[in-house]
Structure 1
Amino acid sequence: TSGAAAALWFPYDAGPADKMIPWALATYKVLVDLIKDSRTGVSMIELRQYSRASEISIPDWAHPFVSTSPSVISSEAETSLDISAYAFSSGFSLNVPLMDTTIYLDYLADRFQKAGGAINEGVHFEKLEDVDPKFGVVINCAGIGARDLVHDVDLEPHRGQVAIVPKIDNLNCAIVCDDAPLMYAIPRTNDCVFGGTNEISDDLDVDPASTSRIVAECSRVLEIKNPRVLNERVGLRPFRKSGVRLEREKLPDSRTVIHNYGHGGSGFTLSWGCAENVFTIAN
């Protein structure tokens, strides 16, 4: 369900921090490089994270990010945001990559296939040993499906619903507030993503009441009339209580499996960093 994601570089709903932050930073560097190629659907955008509380807490992942790339976020940005128009009390900003999934996922699939990979749809495995024995290394990126595939009881589906609306005039930054009620408005190439929800559920059906609440809250924050809803999407964030699982294991048939799942709401944000880790283990 990755196509339902807003796909903003934004560590969210995943852990542990000591591993997540290096993976996120490695991914950031790759995405910045991909911006040079217009075919990727990756661009840079200002992220503004707000709080309805009296004082926002700068998240742990932002602190090493600041020390690594001082130009990305500044104390002036942390204290001088024009937040009155958005009905928030405090916030901070930094520039981050944005992946337009309507373009980026096709780019990745094309790149994978040109490198010699094949994509087979409709394949169902009961267990990892069902993978064709010609493959000596199996990489398990089953996401929430790992609950059944490897019987991981630590996984739980964090349901996310978004509304796709037409582009919003003068909205040139991504706005995020993860206080209740969760809201985000993220402009893309041809439309805008309004969100969202984060609830423990594996229901992939659209909830009309959630769409109404999402659109109403985003419109209230942006001080606009409720826009027309072009589409509604639902996805399941594969949250893992003990954190991302990235490790090697032996299958009963002695083949190597590398587990890489449980990224919660940070799949795109951790993707390249985790892939580099998987590649190192595989070698």
Structure 2
Amino acid sequence: MDSDGVVDGVVVGGGVVGLTAAIRLAERGLRVRVWSRDAVTGTTSAVAGALWWPYRIEPAAEVGAWSLASLRVYEGLAADPAATGVRLVAGVHADTLLSGLGAWAGEVAGLRPLAAEEVPGPYEVGLAARLPLIDMPVHLAWLRARFEAAGGVVEHRAVTDLREAAAVAPVVVNCTGLAARDLVPDPGVRAVRGQLVLVENPGVDTWFTAADGASSETTYFFPQPGRLILGGTAQEDDERSAPDPSTAAAIVARCARIRPEIARARVLGHRVGLRPTRAGGVRIESEPLPGGGLLVHDYGHGGAGVTVAWGCADRVAELVCGS
């Protein structure tokens, strides 16, 4: 924003999707504000695991390109993990076949099928990979700093109508996640509840996932600095924000079947996030605003916002600025 207060664009939503879109616009020279209802640490993004992987996200025709664009960014950011929160970490996707993935999988270096005896737990198939694992509190702070270094301004502001932003700037980018259900309104937006358990890391240095897309229960653990994140759940239309003790106990038990030492790890805390899924998948498209303005939608990423954020941000920049 210039000192005269002129604003070219307002991005509504301060999670990973909103911040990456704002960065792309600001680094193209636009004067941009981010309006966020929550502090960075209070967004759904802050609760994320967050392993790069296109999981439970549509539309399939677009997701591969968005994911790979984001992967290339994270691979670069992993050169400075202390600052960016991004590390490349080895792990296993159990119960997953290479043939069941899209063409994007062929562009992931080192992704390979495992022999049955190499797969942990009661699984006969799996894939090994070295993928970006992102410490979200650190990464979100880094994203905000990068945005502000490009001249952007973050404001803590709750929005009840997107026209509030349109009154300030000719370009509005809607990255409101679950709130898009009421703001757009879009009845296709639904919550998928994810619950996590944070424990002291008993020496686990690789990640593991076993996620059935048709089940409300998943099994995964991600080693992050100072903690091991255990998951998880995918409970559709469940908007409870408080952790459920029985769910937490079941998560620990599932993870301990893979790594028994997890059963004895001291619990540090619990987290719940509501993933914003959408019928038909991610919505990235523009529509005119009265008076000649432009509204760009970028929401409906479910639990894969981190995975596709940069690819989606590139698309937003194309819609706003041209290719």
Partner residue of 1:177?
Answer: 210
Segments of 5+ residues of structure 2 without an aligned counterpart are 1-43
Tell me the SS of whatever aligns to 2:267.
coil
CA deviations over 1:15-47 (Å, ceiling 9, x no partner): 011101100000000110111123101010123
Residue 277 of structure 1 and its aligned partner are, at CA, apart by 0.7
CA deviations over 1:54-80 (Å, ceiling 9, x no partner): xx43365454332x34x4223xx4336
- In the alignment, the residues of structure 1 paired with residue 78 and residue 176 of structure 2 have an alpha-carbon distance, to the nearest angstrom, of 28
**Which of 77, 80, 98 is residue 58 of structure 1 equivalent to?**
98
TM-score, length-scaled by structure 2? 0.80
Residues 1-283 of structure 1 mapped to structure 2, 5 A cutoff? 1-38=44-81, 39-51=83-95, 56-58=96-98, 60-61=100-101, 63-66=103-106, 68-69=107-108, 71-74=109-112, 77-79=113-115, 82-83=118-119, 85-121=120-156, 123-131=157-165, 133-169=167-203, 171-179=204-212, 180=215, 181-200=217-236, 201-224=238-261, 225-283=263-321
AA aligned opposite 1:167: N
AA aligned opposite 2:163: E
- In the alignment, the residues of structure 1 paired with residue 255 and residue 46 of structure 2 have an alpha-carbon distance, to the nearest angstrom, of 21
* Cα RMSD, aligned residues only: 1.7
- In the alignment, the residues of structure 1 paired with residue 291 and residue 271 of structure 2 have an alpha-carbon distance, to the nearest angstrom, of 39
- In the alignment, the residues of structure 2 paired with residue 59 and residue 223 of structure 1 have an alpha-carbon distance, to the nearest angstrom, of 31
Residue 280 of structure 1 and its aligned partner are, at CA, apart by 1.0
- In the alignment, the residues of structure 1 paired with residue 316 and residue 99 of structure 2 have an alpha-carbon distance, to the nearest angstrom, of 27
Q: Number of aligned residue pairs: give it.
A: 272
- In the alignment, the residues of structure 2 paired with residue 208 and residue 59 of structure 1 have an alpha-carbon distance, to the nearest angstrom, of 37
Tell me the SS of whatever aligns to 2:154.
coil
CA contact (8 A) 1:167 1:187 kept: yes
CA deviations over 1:103-147 (Å, ceiling 9, x no partner): 1111111111121111112x2222111116231100000000000
Segments of 5+ residues of structure 1 without an aligned counterpart are none
Bigger shift: 40-49 or 25-34? 40-49
CA deviations over 1:220-261 (Å, ceiling 9, x no partner): 221223321101111011111111000001123432011000
**Cα 1:47/1:18, change in 2 over 3 Å:** farther
AA aligned opposite 1:220: R
Bigger shift: 97-106 or 259-268? 97-106
- Which consecutive aligned stretches of 4+ in structure 1 deviate over 3 angstroms post-superposition? 59-63
Identity in percent: 33
CA contact (8 A) 1:11 1:265 kept: no
**Cα 1:124/1:240, change in 2 over 3 Å:** same
Residue 199 of structure 1 and its aligned partner are, at CA, apart by 0.6
